Structure 1
Amino acid sequence: MLESSPDRVPLGRSDLRVSSVGYGSMPLGGIYGAVDDRAAVDLLRHVIDSGVDFIDTSSVYAEGRVEVLVGEAIQGRRDDVVVATKFGMTGPGLGHPDRVRPALVESLRRLGTDYVDLYYLHQIDPTTPIEDTVWAMGELVEEGLVRAIGLSEVTPSTIRRAHEAFPIAAVQEEYSLLAREIEETVLPTLRELGISLVAYSPFGRGLLTGRIRRPDDVAPDDVRRERYPRFDGRALRANLAAAAPLFALAEELGTTPTELALGWVLASHNTIPIPGTRSPANFDANVEAARFPQDAAITRRLSRMFPVGVARGERYPPNLMQRIREAP
């Protein structure tokens, strides 16, 4: 185990405790470039060896293949890992109570385990009341198939309704210096109810790492140009300009942009970032960044440099953003 392994923190008001920084496995599905299966499993085992015990995946990543890779990596070490996975993203009706249990059964098969620690609804099903979906998820907890449940990309009213139906341990949202909108909506609700925020894309999908300085640094066939409006044309140029002060501050302080960006997210109360990467070296740097709390003066300075709404463009295409904002 690395000397810099992060501390463990509670996951909401559940009985789960996880490392203060987790690992998001979406990149292992090839979304940002091909990944060899053996290299992916080796990376996941390296994650566990480092002391990071919170691994986040989903049934939708590479059509379930990433769950298989996670399952291979945790064999013989199941008790050492808090496994989170998600269901219900690819279409209406997937949040219906009759679909919840079969989705879990398939995930358990791919993961090679008989329980999941944290089970998320990946996106709200517009055809099913959230109370019905959460009630079915709660049944899985009562049967011991799931230890805690969570939601992803939800409104405050949905969180409250869901939490009344069955306790929600965590809500997963995009959160970074370039994506702070939830501070005005979701975060106050989570803090009131004692629900943890699991923050994905803490590096702004790469915009805050320092490896993208010019539009040409994002290849024309990069999936981010197609899927994420913030990587499109003028929006990308504006967002690179918005990120530039972070790079200057990192140089001034003799540190890295990723350490500053991750430290800022970690400074948010009851927030667990889950940066994803295909590189063991980048992963180790993330663990090192989580080792020491960020100086409060630096956190305040970063907050002033990156006010809410600083990014140009929406996080997702209009149809998905509308679905998120109008979730029942």
Structure 2
Amino acid sequence: MAASPSSVTVTVPAVVPRMKLGSQGLEVSAQGLGCMGMSASYGPPKPEPDMIALLHHAIAAGVTFLDTSDLYGPHTNELLLGKALQGVARERVDLATKFGVSFVDGKRQVRGDPAYVRAACEASLRRLGVDCIDLYYQHRIDTRVPIEVTIGELKKLVEEGKIKYIGLSEACASTIRRAHAVHPITAVQLEWSLWSRDAEEDIIPTCRELGIGIVAYCPLGSGFFSSGEKLMDSLPKQDIRRNLPRFQPENLDKNVKVFECISELAKRKGCTPSQLALAWVHHQGQDVCPIPGTTKIENFNQNLGALSVKLTPDEKVELESYTATGNVQGDRHHQMNNTWKNSETPLLSSWKYE
């Protein structure tokens, strides 16, 4: 059973801490806000006035690191943020968006060629209504184009003042190294949670060696650590989680046992399972910034309470034992070819621009 509201004692911190993300000077709130679900992927777009109110609430609370992408919608999430940020002092927000995935004739296409990089950036600037993007990620790696070519164009955008810092999302260690050699990479975004830990073997150590910040998306297991199997009862038909391997019946029955263990520890600590799972991510290091997404102010406040949850070394080990190898069933994506496991690009020396 999950911790009941009456048993939860964790409070929202009065001040959200700030942290240095990477080693190039970017500073963000220690917890961000993933904005995808407001406009896409998790069912129909949510009412715009409600989402703008949520964004304003987040900024007022001190969560200023807002994460979006031109893919979300597509485009509508950036437009939403653009509307929400009208009248908000630019220096109050740490704005991150992404490029690299487009749809051509209804088919998904990953692109990293220079012309596309530039066009995507300029379009995002217009939709967001800003002169400069704080952190601009390559959302997925174009395996047809050397990473040096893509980063080379991003470097030009930095020099032109259109973006401040460069990031990568779902990139393997060798791709990160090659990119960083062209221009310093400030952050790598990857899926990291109690049940998605495969990046710990190679990617995270590489980031730390190079002084690159780590941004953890889906830190709540796409909502699983909020309500377990009950999550499936409320998902709209269009929600992409209905297709994720870990939510399929043959895997969900086994994964529920993981949630039950986390819930029991949360009950002992006087917090919710989601706060406990999110606190675990925060305890991975001062270079890690999780970006849980939500569409409700109540859930946002609950997520913020995770910053006040303190784990002992023994509790951390206990949590990790619940999701040890073999306990979690199913891949994290149904299209694993779109992850860091397949992000190698051609060598620059062997590539000809087409």
TM-score (norm 2): 0.87
Partners of 2:41 and 2:238 within 8 A in 1: no
CA-to-aligned-CA distance 1:253-297 (integer Å, 9 cap, x gap): 221111110110001121100000001011011112114543333
Which residues of 2 match residues 1-328 of structure 1 at below 5 A? 4-34=14-44, 35-76=46-87, 77-90=89-102, 91-92=108-109, 94-209=111-226, 211-213=227-229, 217=233, 219=235, 221=237, 223-269=239-285, 270-291=287-308, 293-308=310-325, 310-318=327-335, 320-321=336-337, 324-328=340-344
RMSD of Structure 2 on Structure 1 (CA): 1.9
Cα gap change, 1:93 to 1:260, in 2 (>3 Å): closer
Shift of 1:215: 8.0
Cα gap change, 1:225 to 1:109, in 2 (>3 Å): closer
Cα gap change, 1:244 to 1:131, in 2 (>3 Å): same
Partners of 1:224 and 1:231 within 8 A in 2: no
Partners of 1:266 and 1:272 within 8 A in 2: yes
Q: Could you list the runs of 4 or more consecutive aligned residues of structure 1 that deviate by over 6 angstroms after TM superposition?
A: none
Cα gap change, 1:216 to 1:228, in 2 (>3 Å): closer
C-alpha distance in 2, partners of 1:58/1:299?
32
C-alpha distance in 1, partners of 2:302/2:232?
25
Partners of 2:192 and 2:199 within 8 A in 1: yes
Partners of 1:137 and 1:149 within 8 A in 2: yes
CA-to-aligned-CA distance 1:208-231 (integer Å, 9 cap, x gap): 11x233586365836245431111
Q: State the percentage of identical aligned residues.
A: 40
CA-to-aligned-CA distance 1:138-175 (integer Å, 9 cap, x gap): 11111111110000011111111111111100000011
TM-score (norm 1): 0.93
Shift of 1:17: 0.4
Cα gap change, 1:249 to 1:195, in 2 (>3 Å): same
Partners of 2:254 and 2:327 within 8 A in 1: no
C-alpha distance in 2, partners of 1:226/1:292?
30
C-alpha distance in 2, partners of 1:264/1:27?
23
Helix, strand or coil at the partner of 1:150? strand
C-alpha distance in 1, partners of 2:52/2:196?
30
Partners of 2:194 and 2:323 within 8 A in 1: yes
**Would you say how many aligned residue pairs link Structure 1 and Structure 2?**
325
Shift of 1:307: 2.0
229-238 vs 51-60, which moves further = 229-238
If asked which structure has higher relative contact order (CA below 8 Å, sep 6+), I would say 2
Equivalent AA in structure 1 for residue 38 of structure 2: L
211-220 vs 223-232, which moves further = 211-220
Helix, strand or coil at the partner of 1:212? helix
75-84 vs 291-300, which moves further = 291-300
Where in structure 2 are there 5+ consecutive unaligned residues? Answer: 1-11, 103-107, 345-354
C-alpha distance in 2, partners of 1:240/1:259?
17
C-alpha distance in 2, partners of 1:309/1:272?
27
Where in structure 1 are there 5+ consecutive unaligned residues? Answer: none
Helix, strand or coil at the partner of 1:213? helix
